[in-house]
Structures are given as C-alpha cells and as structure tokens.
Amino acid sequence: MPSTQTKKLKKSSLALGKISALGADLIKDGMTIFTFCYSQTVLEIFKKAKTQKKDFQVICSETRPNLTGIIMAKELAKLNIPVTITVDVLALQNLRQSDLFLFGVDSLTSTKKIINKNGTTLMIKLAKMLQVPSFACTSLKKSANEKQAKMMLNKTRPSKEIWYKAPSKIMLRNPAYDLTELVDITGIICEKGILKTGN
C-alpha cells in the first residue's frame, strides 16, 4: 500500500496540476504578465501556458534584498519564455504595461489574509490602483492559524542581505513576510477553482 507520504505527494501533485491548468487558462496570446518573487506554482502555470503554445511575455521584479525574482527569470529563460527582469522600484511602470499579476503565497491565514514575501502587499496595492487583475496562486493546504501567522510575521531575515558590512550605528530592518487582505486581490487560483475575492 502507498505510504502516507506518497499519498500526500500525489495529492500535492494533483493540486499543482489543477492550479497550473486554471492559471494557464487566464493567459492569452499577446499578454504581459507581471510576477514578484519566485514561486514554483506560478512557474508551473507559465510552463503549462508554454505547452499550450501561447504567445506571452513575463516581467519579473527582482525582489530585493535576496533577488528571488532573478531565480524566476532564469527558470523562464530556460523554458524559452520571453522574460524581462527589472528593479522593484519600477513596479508602477511595469504594472502599467501588464495585463495580469500572478504571485505565489507562503500561507493563507484563518482571518482571510495572505502571508507572502515582504513587498507583496505593495505590488498588490499598485495592481489594484491600476486595475490590473491580481491572482494568488496557491493550494488551500497552505494555511496558518493565528499563532503560526504571528510567528511568520515576526520572522526577520539576515540584515547582511541589505548591507553586508553596515556601520554599527545604523539599524537594519529586514522582515521576511508581509500581510495582505484578500479583498485587495482579484482571486485565488487553487485546487478548488478560481475563488473570487474582492478586487
């Protein structure tokens, strides 16, 4: 009989397959899609759209300070998907050129909020302001209770990511995650379908 771990992996794989198919359906020929940070789920959506021979391009925000957006850009380049990497401060201009904003999620909270890489909230707010549809791409299994959410939001990353040898009198702040209201996004692409939220 399959082990519990094998069953979990199978369910996870099936969920990812459903999410990638749903996400790819949103991508149309000629579209520009904006993304922030690295997400395996979002990457699978792009892979699926590529196998469907869709003509689209991706703008990756570099995602400072540890530049995970560059990892995403490299993966897209390997797939021969047209991709541009830009600095985070160009997000407004980049979203103005985009038809869609897809991003991953570290956790969904019990209070209907999103926990993800710090900076996600800013990108979502800009997309909402510009009326660019934004979708969280995640399995509903990625959930956090109140205690877990608080621990995540209190987590900080090494200050040297910002400034490797900063003078001792300068304080550095590098929180790992931020919190976004679900009402600020268009929907959640998950194994249950595309769940509409509030934007």
Superfamily of domain 14-194: Translation initiation factor eif-2b; domain 2 (3.40.50.10470)
Q: What are phi and psi of 56, to 5 degrees?
A: -150, 165
State the pLDDT at residue 3. 59
- DSSP code for 141: T
State the pLDDT at residue 181. 94
- The residues carrying an active-site annotation are 37, 106
Domain ranges in the chain? 14-194
What average pLDDT does the structure give for the chain? Answer: 94
- SS3 readout for 174-197: CECEEEEEHHHCCEEEECCEEEEC
State the pLDDT at residue 133. 98
For residue 180, what are the CA distances in angstroms to 18, 51, 167? 24, 32, 33
pLDDT tens sequence across 98-153? 999 999 999 999 888 999 999 999 999 999 999 999 999 999 999 999 999 999 99
Given a cut of 80, whether residue 30 has pLDDT beyond it is yes
93 pLDDT tier (thresholds 50, 70, 90)? very high
State the pLDDT at residue 13. 83
Given a cut of 90, whether residue 12 has pLDDT beyond it is no
The answer to pTM > 0.85 is yes
